[in-house]
Structure 1
Amino acid sequence: YSAFMITWADENIIIQLGKEDKKSIVATHFPCSCIDDGECLIILYKTEKVEGEVQHHKIVHQKEHYSVFYIDTVGGLHTKTKELFKNNDVKQFKNLCVYGEKGITVAEALKTDGRFIDDLGNFKLSDNNNPKRLTVCTQKVKELHQKEFKICLPKVKKKTKHEKLQESPSNNSQSNCERRSESEIIYLARQEGIRVKTSRFPGDSFQKELNLRKENFGKIQQSFSQVYRVRKLLELGKSVCKVFVKDVSVGTGFVLFDTFILTSAHLFKGYVEGKELQQDVEVFAIFDYEEPEPEANFYCFRAENTFIDFDAELDYAVLELNPEGLLSKFGPLPDNGEACIIGHPAGRVKEMDPTFIIEIEKREQAAADYLSQYKKQLIINSLSDHVRKQGIEKILQGGHKAGKVGTYHTFMYHGASGSPVFNGLGKVFGLHTAGYTYGFTKEVESVIEYAHPLIMIFEKFKDGYGKPGRNTINNFCVFSKWTYAS
């Protein structure tokens, strides 16, 4: 018997944990310190490989060093058409018992396990006790101990008729033609971008246009070059922070008043249950992040997992922190004039972008001008359709949201959502939210960006939070009306 056992390779072995029929199985390299004294192990042999060859630690640590959790052999969302395991024999059992050192990620734990396929992709785990609570594959396994999960996969985009035709052998010539057409558009777009400076402006019109833009930009620079205004903005900028949603996203926020911090709701998309963050999601506010590491000397505060207020439509979230806020410095949404955004684009150190408000009646032309760098009408039409599908008409003249947002151009893209937007007098009037994007390459730009008015957010916040006995909010309501009127 022992001689026969020697011929069994680890890759062909299934080890059942416990006597309960078809319950849990462990990997052959499962640490013995995590197996209770007297526990029954049933060893089974399979002709096909069950477990891949993996590099695992030879040193076995104490059980406290590991997190042990269970993954069902029946998958969760969007797993019906994809195999999850290297050998389907494991599906005879309820779940796979998986382990990992507490410092590694879920993805690393499943790869080390060896029984899962190598290309699970960007999967998530849904908690069996609360299926709406999802754990991303980049999250640490520390918080998963003794919990049971199902693997969930991203939704697979259905192939369009166009894509199916491309795959058909009988339509090779048509497929190649269509592919050439698409690549030709991309090529033309890039070429037009290169030639724009010389082909767009005949004669001396480029210099005239340049002088006009210099004049407009000079006015903006003048507004924000006066020392007292810059000093005021830098002082107000102390309330601006980098918002770090661990293993999820990075954005910008600012202290509204008292202990409340305001940021964009979409930073937490997919991780909110009611008015609470999922249990394992951590949020930090980082202040004074103004110098690159290692010289950086910043302050980090952890936020509560319960939102004070949350609104997906206005795209804002209110969390709780300590520094002095900006509410006493807020003003109305301006129709035109100078503006300035302070934030952390792409998670970088704090930056400031002076710009100007684009009036409602000029928004459509501003967006069109931005796309006019592409001379070919085919390209402009394609980009315009892409922007239109995002709902840009809602903020253009006549749109139902035209008067509910402030618009401008800025280089503040990803990571700057939640930044405060100031007017020329140093009053914060908006929450930088998003833009209407386009682009043939991975570097996506916006034709126009917008902010939700702080006064509208505060009124919504007040309605939800201003209950009897909340003296702080009531006092600020009186104070803010005086500030707004001034």
Structure 2
Amino acid sequence: MSEAPPPKKMKQTDIRTLLGHPHPEGEIHVFQFRIGYKKHKVACTTSQTVLDALNENDAFKSHHNKHINKEMIIQRAKGKVPGAAVKTDFPCCLLENDEILDINFISNKGNISANQKVVEPSVKLSPISKYKAFYIRTRGKKMIRVMKNNELALKVDYVCVYALKGETLKSALQRDGRFSDEIFSSPCELMDIFKDASYELSLPVDSLSEHLFNLYVQWQKQTSFIPQSSAVNKYEKANLYAQWQKRKSFLSQSSAEEDEEAPADPPTGERHINEKQKKKRKEMRKTKKGTGSLTKRRMIDITWNLENSSILPLTKEILRAQCKHLFEKLKEPNNSELKKLFEVEYGKSMKNFCEVSIMKELTKFSDSVCVIVSNISAKGTGFLLFDKFVLTNAHVVKDLRSQEGKLLGNLQAVFNYEHVKSEVECLPFKEDLAAYCYEKDDENGLLDYALLELNIDEDVKYPELLSYYKQTPPPRSGGIYIVGHPNCETKKMENCFIIETENRLQAINNHISENPICPYVPSRCWPYLHENQITYDSCFFHGSSGSPVFDEQCSLIGVHTGGFHYEDNSGESRSVIEFCYSMQSIRKNILETARPDVKKVLQEFERKKVNICVKQEPQQEDVSMESDESNES
């Protein structure tokens, strides 16, 4: 046996190479883009533009081709203003490392950013020290039109503009191309949102990095009919007082109508009303108004706001009718339908709760989960099962298995990949498979697993998850937890619920009927689900095969394997139903087909586990008895 190479600590740049992100020459930069809910990594040089980097990704090009005549919105997740939209020629060097860009498409209203113009090489190749970036609100002060595309102004609050040092504000805005021509034909200035300062467009951008601005048209503030500062305060105070008087009158009138049938108060001179009369009058008022008094007052406020708003008359009538109907329903003392609605929604939210102790336990188990990597290509997920053996799906390594049953491609397990800057531990595998079964014929035992052996001499420091497997049939219902690397990205965990065997067909029918784009019919899904599989509805798709699945007691119950995958119209990954193979069936097959030395190690491991449980049993009984006594008291 050849000597095992020592465990290798991989740095941030190493993990990117392992996961199949080749880097061009120059300083390396990595960011992510998200279309819908799916994220993709992009590796580029800092001298590239965002569009250049995106065009190297096949998923982006495929999606972009579907919206070629639309304008692209690229929103940053970081920066001074998260959610600000950048243009397609935005330099990659101004993005933060591993920043996420959300990409959407809107109708093109003549904005030249939709059909991106070629950027001059001098701009593309400038170093980061030459750039400045600032933010402008898409809706300007005094209601001026800022953006050419009104839809962009409705979708985004701020746009992020970049400029070269020495360039003027006007030049930067004109080159950006998203701003309305009106702001260049009128004397405009930028008002700093956080400082009492204004900047003319002729000023250079050198000192304005990361500032937030409102666009302001100068001639509007000098219009003669607008009062001066002292007069403005008097005008506003008078206007507010008049509105308050109007509202007070409105409320008084409504209160008078409300109290028409209530007992009248006695004259001022009659102070001898006995306590019985006061109590009777109070009860009558309460019977008349009840909780509806407060409800009606709320409706009065809303109605007053509707009357004095600038909403169109037809919209006012619709809103008024809806408010009236809603408040009538709320005033009903025994509204069974409303009560049932709240009860059902509250019941659903209860299912999403998770005890802190379970989360702590799962966090400990997650250390055993790794990415399976071949050369520079990530294949899937795996986890340390026992001793030095890692369990994953057979289809993860199927293409790397030779006719002699040996592994090819320098296969490795990458542990601790929890964020991009993680210092991961990369451990190699032996060429010989410890156990393997990829059987699609139910008559021969439907299974999909591979047991791989680490090629190291020292003990592995991560938890052996077989210690948390109970030799009992898998649960038929309840919650489960999946820990893995979906899309072979950073480690994630998902909580979902088992779909019972008798409800599988109904769940499949429901998904297909609710998603017309789904290419499946029930007959293409239902017959391929078997007894040794646990079904659920998960978002763990490609790259997560081989992830461990735990039940509500944190017991290992299966290996996440797959589902019936398809893509919707937007290119997003969907699945009709997902499944895992039960740990019970996998363990049984390992004991039947594994190499003799592997069987011996497994049996020895389980014997030690049983001995540990037997030693702990008396102590557990004592704790149980104390608990019972405390409950009885």
* Structure with the bigger percentage of helix: 2
TM-score, scaled relative to structure 1: 0.49
